Structure 1
Amino acid sequence: MNRLSQALELTHVSEDDKIPDDVWEKFMRDSERDIRASAPKEPSSRAREVTERLRRNEARGELPEGWRTGPAWQEKKSRRGLWGVLGVAIAVVVAVVAVKPSLVPGDFFGGGSDEAGDAVASALPVETAAPTAAPSAEAPEVPTLDEPFAGSPAKRWADGAAGIVVPKAKGVGGQSAAKTEQALKLTKKLLVESNLDPGTLRGERPEAALDVLDPVQKDVRGLLETALSKPDKKHDPLWMFSRFDPKEARLVGDVVKTRGRMTFKAGDNASVVVHADYTFVYPVVQTNGSTEVTRTIIRRVLDVDIPDPSRYRVTPGKLNIVKWDQDINNSACDVYDGYLHPHFPSSEPSGAAPSGPTTDPYDRSETIDSNGDEACGTVSRV
């Protein structure tokens, strides 16, 4: 009772939330009637006379056997008066809730906690088109081991693979809806295995991701194989895979925040081309025992297709890479050892000094200019 009353007292009622006049007037009439009925009444002269006679008989010990006397009767009377008052209060609550249930904060009837509701309400809807601007600035917060996404727009993004939503398939480019669905699912698998798989993030060989790619496309497979075994500036596995040096940094927890979209269209090779554009946010900590948390943000854009095997020399059920691009933020510049090297504010920066422009790594409204300045820049926030 106290919990509900307090909740109603603390709830602001806007003009739109007011109880209709006719309902309120009926409620006031009923409440006034109940209060009059439960209010104590002045005893009549006859009642006072009977009470006085009983008092004298009680003093002489002459009350009939079994008569309810003294404290028990008084307690019953007191309880009846209390329940009358409580009944009116309960009637107030029931009337208000019946007319406007939204006035009661939380989930009073057990449908879920307020915290769960807040989390659901704050989650961003699925991205279906390019945003028109960067996410708004967040309140400045320092990320911690318990809250690695504090102060980041990614806090409202989906977790991991849940953020890679496959659109409904349909036939295009002479290919069936089933073929389109296959291409979409393989694209998601490639993204997951390349950017979210725990082994890949620990720097292990991304075997499952490589298996999605067509071995016949030797320029891509060959480049990636060389990059994984002998990385250098012209053969960088970070072009496709997110990998941290296990001797230097590790992921905080097991959540990587993900946001982006996937589309498809008819291709030039009697195929369906899938376009994927996703940003991944990795909270990391050094492996030297420090508890300082930072974040590396990577945006990946790639086009893939499955050409018609009846017309082209391809491996059925494998993806061909048409185009790829990436934007890696908060990692050492000009270091080509095959790993990401996050910058921690308390540590000396590694790699070359940034010489490019300052950018917002969370801004998904701009395209990645693959022909632009390749100089490593700085970020406005992490």
Structure 2
Amino acid sequence: MTTDDPATDRTGREDFPDWLRQLERDIRPGPGVRLRIWCRRRSRRLKGGAAVLVVLALLAGAAAYRSGQLWRPGPAAHAAAASGATASPAAGTGATASPAPAAGPFAGTPAAGWPAGPAGIVLPPAHRAGDFTAAQVSAGLAQVRAALLTARLDRAFMAGRDPDPLLRHFAPAARASVRKDYTTETIATYATRLAPDARLAPDPPRVSGRITYQATRDSNGVRELAVTTNFVWVYGFRDPGARSGYSVVLLHDTVVWHLPYPDDVAAASRGLWLYDMSSYGWGLDCGTIRQGLVRPGGLDPAAAPFPEDPEALYDPDHPIAVPTHC
């Protein structure tokens, strides 16, 4: 049998897991940014149990997964129109002006041509990995995709105040820690909760990224399937104060999910666990994100210029660690 006692590991042995043996905090401020960016990194392992920019690096051994969290500017002007966004005049028409850009929150951003919603989460082919059969890998990947759909794309969950739709995707023994995250800033690292006054546009969020996996073992020798998800999520919000009527918020996260080999753990530990995660965000409000809530932020005229092209932040290969602060 498993127990909620942290002194019991997932195999049922009475032993303090590695993540309870260390707690370290490291907060590194960097230069200010234009359009208020807030970025936080923290780390903690659940195994065994975002204008100004913030980088908060927190190694939290007490729950032991890593989460590098969010930095943000205001809903500022998107740097440059996406490549190819302006069409050329039709041949033979004598037209001298380009047609108006398409309406919608993502027009003129790099996300304009991205897949909408679930279409952006594409699973890799499932092959045997270590002792995990292709069928087990396929089932594990499907569990991760289902968790992502709820955590980042389900409007009812994002606008609601009930963590249960998210909790059900995790191993029973992992749910207490996820529930604890739900009312803190940590939740924004791997799930989206909307502030009460935030209103999403009808357009589905745009999604770009990839999923990889490998077989591994934990410090107790438990076989695990490690699934790494790296996605940029771009949300359109209704914004009466913006010229277009919309604002855009970007979240980029990298999350490592672990699924223990069923025979190696007790029943309550079978399923998804958060192992390692990091993220940043753009266009977020600093105040609400500290409560784990997402809504568009405002401009900060006193902020220093952002040191790179904001469009680069849409790239899933952009480093998560952004050395600037709130």
- Tell me the TM-score normalised to structure 2 length: 0.61
Q: CA deviation at 1:375?
A: 1.9
Aligned to 2:164: 207
Q: Is this contact kept in 2: 1:172–1:266, CA < 8 A?
A: yes
Aligned to 1:12: none
Between Structure 1 and Structure 2, the one with more strand by share is 2
Aligned to 1:301: 254
Aligned to 1:87: none
Unaligned runs of 5+ in 2: 1-79, 87-99
Q: 1:270 to 1:136 in 2, by over 3 A?
A: farther
1:245 and 2:195 matched? yes
- Which stretches of structure 1, 4 residues or more, deviate above 6 A after TM superposition? 287-291
Q: Is this contact kept in 2: 1:244–1:340, CA < 8 A?
A: yes
2:111 counterpart letter in structure 1: A
CA distance in 2, matches of 1:136, 1:172: 42
Aligned to 2:231: 278
Q: 1:366 to 1:332 in 2, by over 3 A?
A: same
Aligned to 2:314: 362
Can you list the C-alpha shifts for 1:328-369, whole angstroms capped at 9, x where unaligned? 11102254222113135xxx559x968985553212233323
Q: CA deviation at 1:162?
A: 0.8
Between Structure 1 and Structure 2, the one with more helix by share is 1
Alignment of 1:92-241 (within 5 A): 137-138=82-83, 146-217=103-174, 221-229=175-183, 231=184, 235-241=185-191
Q: Is this contact kept in 1: 2:195–2:295, CA < 8 A?
A: yes
2:128 counterpart letter in structure 1: G
Q: CA deviation at 1:174?
A: 0.6
Alignment of 1:345-356 (within 5 A): none
Count of matched residue pairs = 227
RMSD: 3.3
Unaligned runs of 5+ in 1: 1-134, 377-382
Q: CA deviation at 1:211?
A: 0.9
Q: CA deviation at 1:196?
A: 0.2
Look at both structures and tell me which one has the larger radius of gyration over its CA atoms: 1
1:267 and 2:216 matched? yes
Q: Is this contact kept in 1: 2:280–2:320, CA < 8 A?
A: yes
Can you list the C-alpha shifts for 1:186-217, whole angstroms capped at 9, x where unaligned? 11011110000011232432422211112313
Aligned to 2:272: 319
CA distance in 1, matches of 2:81, 2:305: 26
Q: 1:354 to 1:169 in 2, by over 3 A?
A: farther
Identity of aligned residues (%): 23
- Tell me the TM-score normalised to structure 1 length: 0.52
Aligned to 1:9: none
Q: 1:294 to 1:138 in 2, by over 3 A?
A: farther
Tell me: higher relative CO, structure 1 or 2? Use CA pairs within 8 A at least 6 residues apart: 2
